[in-house]
Structures are given as C-alpha cells and as structure tokens.
C-alpha cells in the first residue's frame, strides 16, 4: 500500500481526521504516509473543546517562534568564568536554569513541521473566531490571558505556517464591524478560493458599500467561487455608485468560475455593477435567487457583454413568496442573454416556466445537456425541449418529495406521444439518442374532464401502449423516474380485476388512479425492451401495477444492467421474487 499513491489516497479518503491521526502515530513509515492526509484539510470545528485544542496548537507554535526571535536578538552570552579559590571576592556561578524555553536545536512543533502540507481551510472566518482568547476562567490560559496574542496575530501566524493553503471565507457584518478582524480578513482574501460576502437581514445594519469594494479589490486569481448575499447596502455619503465615483475605473484581479447572487432585494440602490461583470469574464456557472428587477436587467446585459463563458444557470431554491423567487418575466431576459447557449439550466419551484421561458431557452437548443424544472405552466414546453435538443443527457421535471411535498411538471400524454398516423408510430425526437436520465410525469391518460375510469378501455389501453413506445425510444437511458402522487390501492385492484375479467363498468374513484402508467406486459411494457443501459427505475407513489413476477422477470431479462428499483411496494409477488432470485438488485 505504502508504495502506491493512488491506493493511499483511496484508503485515506475513507478515514476521518481522528483515525488518520492515530494511523500516523503507529510508526515512522506510517507517519510518512498518513501525516500529509491528516494535515491536508482543516475542517470546521463545531465544539468549543475543539477550538481550544486548535488554539493551543497555534499558540504554542507562535510562542516558540517569539522566543527564538528574542534569543537571536540578545547578544551572545560570555562563557562562565573559571573556578577560583574562595575568597572575600569569590564569584559564585548562578545555578543553571531549567526553564522550558526552546533553543535553536529544539524540534519543530506540529504546525511548523506540517503546516506546509495544509491545502484547504474550510472556513477561515470561523477559524479566526476560534482563535479568540478564552473568557476569564474558561480555559487553561485564562490566568495569563493578558499576555496572550490576539486572534488576528494568531491568524497571521497560522497563514504564514500554511503557505500552500487555500481558504473558504464567509465575510459577514461582524467581521466588517471589527477593524482588527477586518484587517486580517483583507490580508487573507488573496488566498481565498471560495468567497461569500453576507450581510444582515436586519434593515438597521446595512452592509457598508466601501467595505464591499475593498473585499472584492483584495481578491486574487485564486478565487474560484464568489457569493454575494447582501439584502441591503449602506451607501457612502455623496457616492451615487458602489464604493466611489471612480468605480468604473477599478479592476478586480479575481477570475471566478462560479458567481452566486442571493437575496439582493435592494441592490437597485447601486447604479453600476459593470466592473463586477467585467471581473466575471471567466464565470461558467451563475446561481440567481431573489435579486431585484433592476439587477436582473443589469445582469442580463453583463452576461451578454462581459461573460461569454457562462453556460450553466441555477434559478434559486425554495418556494415563491419566501423572498427568493424570480418572477416569470425575469426568466426569459436571463435565458436569452447567453451568447453561446446554455449547457445546463436548473430551477426548482421558486419560479414559473411559461412559454416565453422555453422560447428563450430554445434559441440555442443544440448545446443544452441538462435541464431540471418542476414549476411549469406551459404543458407543451417539455416535449418541445425533447424534440429540439440533440445533446440533452438529463431531463428532470420531478421533485420526488424526499425533503418535502412532491412537485411535478405535468406533460400531456398526447404531446408526449407525438403520434404520426402516416407512419403508425411515434415521431422521432432528436434527444432520443443521448438522453441518459429522465424524470417525468405524464398526465391526460384519462379522457379530459373525467373523474372516473373510462368506458373506452381500448383507447385507454392504446394510450398506455403508445406512452411505453415513446419511452422505449430513449435507448441510452440509465435512470428512469416516472412520478405521480399516491392513489388508493384497493380501488386499483378492483378496477384491474374487472378489466382482466371483461367486467368493464366504470368505477367511481380518485382521478389519479387511471392517470398512472401501469408498466405491465399487458399494457405495453414490452415496447421498452431497448433499455440495454438502464440501471435505475424509480416508480414510487404510482399506480404501476407491477405486482406479479412475470413483469419484473421480463425487466431483468431485457434490462441487463438494472441494479436498483424503487417503489415496487412492500408486499408483492414481484418484490418477493426479485429479492429471492436477484439479491444484487437494490430494492427501496
């Protein structure tokens, strides 16, 4: 193991910091392998005890260096005099001091020895707070607290010992308020890899715009991610734009790859952000949430004029009405701003997708590879995407509800089928060759306006068959999710038995029941036999009727790579058979 770097990395990645430290203490050979991984990352410390231990480590190294510097500055001591006979003027040598002060030959402490191995500090601002002296009576060093170095001094020492470390830093109102702390923050910013500037939501404590400018101007080309989350700015007196009247002439040296704009509700007070957009010329991914109408327009112009590399956009998270939603009118202005088209677009329930948003997205349909949206008001928009995007690999229109209520973008069955009567087959779609992940909810299987199961069973059966045929066209699929809300299982069984026995009378039940795909051989499952790469099937909360072993036996025979099935039900013949005959397939 110790001679194979790749294997060392795999093993060490599985161990927590405490286990890595224990391994490093086994022997010199083990220490040579494990010590670099112990020190590679300084994670967030969530306990007060952990911060006390960390502060002790930095403080000890700091004091050792201070003592060595003092010794170097003192003149070299004269050698002790030779012994002479006792007399009235006899010189008595002073006893040798046994203090713990280090000498030049003292072994280096851990921070000095291993600090150069640190590559990443997860949260420098939290570390800075952790280096604050303990309260009186609250730690080992409280008795001599008056002589302890300050947190900024220890932070500077830590940065000096870790010259190769990149930092994650969240600058908030508290750091700006303290002049000493803000000074250290500005010194650390050139080493920052991921920077977040966060203001208070309290309107009485707006973020100083001059501090905002200083932070951005202190960044370096090491910066990869920039997050701005400032609900309100405090404008400098007499300035009509951020920072100073000469802000247009300022240039930021950073070239981040990711830009996140969050909760900038009153950003319209600041008239010119062009200097920031210019600095984001290499941004590839933008996340937008809850920004003002004026900033949306300015951002669209910035994307068009200054950010040619941007190809991924994420429109917020959460729900409308919680301060982070974009109105439907804002989506087209952002989507149409890209000069080279979008490769990935993601949007949760925070914003509605109307036909204008799809029009803007499909202006450059060819580059699109990933699309995830759930709040859709244009039912024909998703089929338009599948028809027009040849490089589409992932389409997700379902929030499966694992972290809250389920949300679905509904697609009408006839739009999804897109039947060609002349060919007596579904129309070919350009996305079929490359689509690997599909999560979709097909509705409209029942006759429009019906709250009961249809009398025209032949039409119902034909619709199911054609939907399965459309799904079968996506031969590159690896993950298939078909979503619906739960229905009444008893009603499902009653209707299925009546349909099988030919007793075809309508049954008053939930309209959701007949809306679901059955995914049985009797309803067209055999038209999905081309899934040679399918690995996962997700059908939770769906009236899928996959209860007998014949259906899942067909799936296993025709989908050779299937390894995970979710939503079969707890007690069914199909689940029991799969569990007994194919234990390698994961069931949920």
Residues 295-345 have pLDDT tens digits of 888 889 999 999 999 999 998 764 444 444 567 778 899 999 998 899 999
Inter-axis angle of helices 5-13 and 28-38, nearest 10: 60
What are the residue ranges spanned by the domains of the chain? 5-38, 437-587
Cβ within 8 Å of residue 32, ≥6 positions away: 2
What region does 341 belong to: left with phi over 0, alpha with psi -120 to 50, or beta? left
Residue 382: what pLDDT?
Answer: 95
Neighbours of 337 (CB within 10 A): 21
Nearest in space to 130 (alpha carbons), one of 105, 149, 147, 155: 155
Distances, alpha carbon 274 to alpha carbons 248, 285, 461, in Å: 7, 18, 58
Rounded to whole angstroms, how far apart are CA atoms 522 and 155?
Answer: 70
Inter-axis angle of helices 573-581 and 549-558, nearest 10: 40
Rounded to whole angstroms, how far apart are CA atoms 14 and 545?
Answer: 41
Which stretches of 329-430 are DSSP H helices? 330-335, 355-361, 381-388, 413-417
Residue 429: what pLDDT?
Answer: 96
Task: Could you list the beta-strand ranges (E) of 413-459.
Answer: 419-420, 425-426, 437-443
Rounded to whole angstroms, how far apart are CA atoms 348 and 426?
Answer: 30
User: Is 255 in contact with 279 (CB distance < 8 Å)?
Assistant: yes
Inter-axis angle of helices 151-161 and 179-188, nearest 10: 10
Q: What is the pLDDT along the chain (588 residues), one digit of tens a residue?
A: 566 666 666 776 777 767 777 777 777 777 777 777 777 777 766 555 667 778 888 888 888 888 888 888 776 555 555 554 544 433 333 333 333 444 444 567 878 878 888 888 888 888 887 888 776 655 444 434 446 788 888 888 888 888 888 888 988 888 888 888 888 889 889 989 999 998 877 767 778 878 888 888 888 888 999 998 887 776 555 444 444 445 555 667 778 999 998 877 555 445 567 778 888 889 999 998 877 777 888 889 999 999 999 999 998 764 444 444 567 778 899 999 998 899 999 987 778 899 999 999 999 889 999 999 988 988 899 999 999 999 999 999 987 655 445 678 889 999 999 999 999 999 999 999 999 999 999 988 865 544 455 556 788 889 999 999 999 999 999 999 997 754 434 444 444 455 445 544 433 333 345 577 888 998 999 999 989 999 999 988 777 888 889 999 999 999 999 999 998 877 788 889 999 999 999 998
Distances, alpha carbon 452 to alpha carbons 121, 281, 448, 491, in Å: 60, 57, 11, 11
Residue 101: what pLDDT?
Answer: 44
* pLDDT tens by residue, 181-235: 888 889 889 989 999 998 877 767 778 878 888 888 888 888 999 998 887 776 5
Nearest in space to 326 (alpha carbons), one of 300, 307, 308: 300
Distances, alpha carbon 553 to alpha carbons 38, 575, 578, in Å: 49, 11, 8
Q: Which pTM was predicted?
A: 0.77
Q: How many helices (H) and strands (E) does the chain have?
A: 20, 23
Cβ within 8 Å of residue 254, ≥6 positions away: 216, 219, 220, 221, 222, 223, 226, 279
Residue 528: what pLDDT?
Answer: 93
Give the chain's length. Answer: 588
Q: What is the CA radius of gyration of the chain?
A: 33
95 DSSP assignment = P
Rounded to whole angstroms, how far apart are CA atoms 334 and 346?
Answer: 13
């Amino acid at each position: 193991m110790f001679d194979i770097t790749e294997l060392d990395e795999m093993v060490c990645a599985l161990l927590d910091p405490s286990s890595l430290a224990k391994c490093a203490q086994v022997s010199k050979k083990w220490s040579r392998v494990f010590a670099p991984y112990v020190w590679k990352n300084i994670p967030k410390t969530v306990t007060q005890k952990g911060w006390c231990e960390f502060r002790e480590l930095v403080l000890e190294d700091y004091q050792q260096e201070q003592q060595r510097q003092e010794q170097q500055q003192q003149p070299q001591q004269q050698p002790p005099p030779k012994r002479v006979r006792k007399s009235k003027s006899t010189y008595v040598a002073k006893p040798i001091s046994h203090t713990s002060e280090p000498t030049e030959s003292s072994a280096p402490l851990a921070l000095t020895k291993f600090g150069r191995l640190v590559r990443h500090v997860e949260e420098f601002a939290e570390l800075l707070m952790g280096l604050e002296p303990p309260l009186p009576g609250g730690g080992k060093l409280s008795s001599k607290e008056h002589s302890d170095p300050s947190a900024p001094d220890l932070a500077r020492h830590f940065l000096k010992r870790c010259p190769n470390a990149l930092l994650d830093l969240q600058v908030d109102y508290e750091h700006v308020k303290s002049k000493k702390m803000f000074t250290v923050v500005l010194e650390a910013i050139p080493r920052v890899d991921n920077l977040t500037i966060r203001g208070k939501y309290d309107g009485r404590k707006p973020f100083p715009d001059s501090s905002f400018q200083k932070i951005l101007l202190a960044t370096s080309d090491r910066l990869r991610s920039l997050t701005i989350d400032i609900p309100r700015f405090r404008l400098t007196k007499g300035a009509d734009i951020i920072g100073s009247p000469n802000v247009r002439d300022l240039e930021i040296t950073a070239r981040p790859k990711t830009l996140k704009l969050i909760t900038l509700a009153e950003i319209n007070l600041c008239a010119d952000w062009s200097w920031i957009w210019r600095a984001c010329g290499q941004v590839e991914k933008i996340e937008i949430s809850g920004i003002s109408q004026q900033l949306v327009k300015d951002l669209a112009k910035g994307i068009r004029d200054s950010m040619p590399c941007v190809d991924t956009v994420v429109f917020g998270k959460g729900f409308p009405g919680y301060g982070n939603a974009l109105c439907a009118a804002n989506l087209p202005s952002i989507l149409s701003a890209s000069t080279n088209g979008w490769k990935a677009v993601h949007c949760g329930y925070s914003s509605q997708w109307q036909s204008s948003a799809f029009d803007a997205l499909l202006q450059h349909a060819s580059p699109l590879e990933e699309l995830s949206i759930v709040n859709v008001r244009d039912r024909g928009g998703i089929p338009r995407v599948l028809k027009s995007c040849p490089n589409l690999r992932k389409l997700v229109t379902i929030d499966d509800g694992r972290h809250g209520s389920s949300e679905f973008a509904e697609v009408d069955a006839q739009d999804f089928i897109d039947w060609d009567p002349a060919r007596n087959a579904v129309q070919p779609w350009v996305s079929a060759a490359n689509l690997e992940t599909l999560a979709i909810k097909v509705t409209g299987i029942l006759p429009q306006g019906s709250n009961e199961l249809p009398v025209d069973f032949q039409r119902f059966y034909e619709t199911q068959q054609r939907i399965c045929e459309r799904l079968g066209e996506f031969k590159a699929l690896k993950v298939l999710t078909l979503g619906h809300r739960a229905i009444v299982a008893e009603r499902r069984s009653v209707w299925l038995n009546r349909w099988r026995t030919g007793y075809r009378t309508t049954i008053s039940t939930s309209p959701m029941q007949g809306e679901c795909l059955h995914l049985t051989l009797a309803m067209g499952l055999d038209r999905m036999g081309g899934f040679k790469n399918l690995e996962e099937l997700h059908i939770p909360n769906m009236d899928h009727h996959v209860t007998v072993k014949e259906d899942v036996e067909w799936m296993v025979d025709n989908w050779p790579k299937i390894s995970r099935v979710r939503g079969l039900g707890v007690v069914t013949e199909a689940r029991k058979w799969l569990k007994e005959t194919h234990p390698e397939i994961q069931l949920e």
